[in-house]
Amino acid sequence: MGLVTQTSTWPDAGQSGPGHSAPAGPAGTAPSAAGKAASSGTPARPWVARPAEAFTDEALRARLLGSVRSWRDYPPTLRIWFLLVPLLTAAVAGILRFVRLGDPHKLVFDETYYVKDAYSYLVSGYERSWPDKANDSFNAGNPGVLLNSPEYVVHPPVGKWMIAAGMWLFGPDNPFGWRFAAALTGTLSVLLVSLIALKLFRSLPLAGAAGLLLAVDGHHLVMSRTSLLDIFLMFWVLAAFGALLMDRDDGRARLASRLARAAADHGGNPPLAALLSGPWLGVRWWRITAGVCLGLAVGTKWSGLFFVAVFGLLTVLWDMNARRVAGVRGWISGGIIKDGVPAFISTVPVAAVVYTLSWTGWFRSDNAYFRHWAEANPSPAWGWLPDAVRSLAHYHQEAYTFHQGLSSEHPYEASAWSWLVMGRPTSFFYESPQQGTPGCDVAKCTSAILSVGNPLIWWTAAVCLVVLLFWWAGRRDWRAGAVLAGVAAGYLPWFMYPERTMFYFYAVSFEPFLILALAYCLGLVLGRASDPPWRRRSGLYVVVLFVAAAIVLSAFFYPVWAAEVIPYDAWKVRMWMPSWI
């Protein structure tokens, strides 16, 4: 795998920007002046160049994209590993998530809401009420006991439609069908994390480590094996982040190409008008893709709105900085007008349209909750709106009021302050099988599902956030800032609602960014690319040992993540903190 196996997150000498190594062209091309200076031992000054040289396509791409190359520029054997490493981590995730997916053979925790709602979608396209003891019928494989009256729910439809898709494929009468969509989504999210790590760090070891660490973490595993909405929220947020990373490179490549073309048309120097605010960059398809994903995230849970705001600001800041580095004088105004406005149009209205379309089943129904509220409540001020739109707006107002006032006590509620240290993980399932039942050969046994993460992964990742904060603020590494933005969007907003009932499993929405933070710090352990071979080799050994230790610890905790029947004493040994019980 060549030098890629030793690539780390350390910035290199002569880099074109934070976290980028010195530009390297395809084999056989002459090195740049900066590259020659670096190879000769003379300090490189990549920011100083003659005007006629500073605005060539090669020079602009070097400043804006560093040594990023097309995957086609790599040898075929290396290209195979670019696909194989993420796929292997996803395969590990798939095995852990799909094996024994049907256990326990009953609805657990909040599956009692979302799985039954998903079945309602299959039957009628909206949520309907259930009779008393409906869970017993559902667990027995007889879900067809729906009532005709509508049910009031407070979460949007996308996640429930995804659960319904799995039930449509494998039947609503078995747990595999209930949980298939969650397991598939969790597996695909591991693939995405590995690909994103490869994109961010350009390192196969770090991509493999990120994918494996997410694959074996217990919190993500539990959420992938139970049909709650948060795993789907996490997936669409992660997909949006990946799309914005692709857009970042695409936008910078467009900026370099258009500025270089303007310079070439004017004797090597772009005209003053071109440098006042920079060129328009056209339709950004990856940004539109991100808007679609964010719309699906909000359509799963409203907390996706925070990611819309943070990611929107993040992508505009990236573009503003690109114009500054390219040499645009009015990079602030140009970034706001020529990047910010198109970014808003490409994400917010697109996300809004996607979100509205997710309510198609409700619009098409004749009996959904609040479907005809507007007809019974005419409004002089808002009567010009279609009744269906006013009814849906009222539905949202009522749901928002519910969320704001959700402060009922729960034995497993957990303040956001405790999430990173896993102070109070949520118990999804607990039973005490009798001696003689399958798997129980002692006097007292336990079968449990506890949504606790791998302590080595979570506690180390919490420390890594502090490290990233210093590298973002001190070294201005955009990758550290991007990862921190993902954590902030999923975590910090919960501190605005201290009285609201919250649960630790909400943290799965930003868990992939914790894993990326951990991978970033593992890259620091790997060392600089310019370090001697023994240093890089030692760093690689430490990374391998850390990942191996995390895997061993996950094997230790696996029984309490997957409802295995174990002796009570073995369960108690795994309860490292009193608050986990």
pLDDT reported for residue 498: 85
pLDDT reported for residue 28: 32
pLDDT reported for residue 206: 96
Residue 5 in tokens: 């196996």
DSSP state of 138: H
Between 238 and 32, residue with greater pLDDT: 238
pLDDT reported for residue 68: 67
Average pLDDT score, the chain: 89
pLDDT over 90 (residue 270): no
Closest CA to 14 of 60, 57, 50, 62: 62
pLDDT reported for residue 15: 37
pLDDT reported for residue 379: 85
How far is residue 156's CA from residue 352's CA, in Å, rounded to a whole number? 13
How far is residue 157's CA from residue 161's CA, in Å, rounded to a whole number? 6
DSSP state of 444: S
pLDDT over 90 (residue 393): yes
Whether 102 and 141 have beta carbons less than 8 Å apart is answered as no
pLDDT reported for residue 450: 98
The whole-number average pLDDT for the span 117-137 is: 94
Q: How many angstroms separate the first and last alpha carbons of the chain?
A: 46
pLDDT reported for residue 39: 40
How far is residue 237's CA from residue 296's CA, in Å, rounded to a whole number? 9
Q: What is the pLDDT of residues 396-422, one digit of tens each?
A: 999 988 887 777 889 999 999 999 999
pLDDT over 70 (residue 447): yes
SS3 370: coil
SS3 128: strand
Residue 156 in tokens: 């949007």
pLDDT reported for residue 502: 94
Whether 176 and 102 have beta carbons less than 8 Å apart is answered as yes
pLDDT over 70 (residue 175): yes
**pLDDT-wise least confident of 255-259, 453-457, 488-492, 558-562:** 255-259
Whether 231 and 508 have beta carbons less than 8 Å apart is answered as yes
Q: What is the pLDDT of residues 19-49, one digit of tens each?
A: 333 333 323 333 334 444 434 444 445 555 5
**pLDDT-wise least confident of 327-331, 462-466, 514-518:** 327-331
Q: What is the pLDDT of residues 523-557, one digit of tens each?
A: 999 988 888 999 999 999 999 999 999 999 999 99
How far is residue 518's CA from residue 524's CA, in Å, rounded to a whole number? 10
**pLDDT-wise least confident of 3-7, 276-280, 474-478, 501-505:** 3-7
Cα diameter, the chain: 88
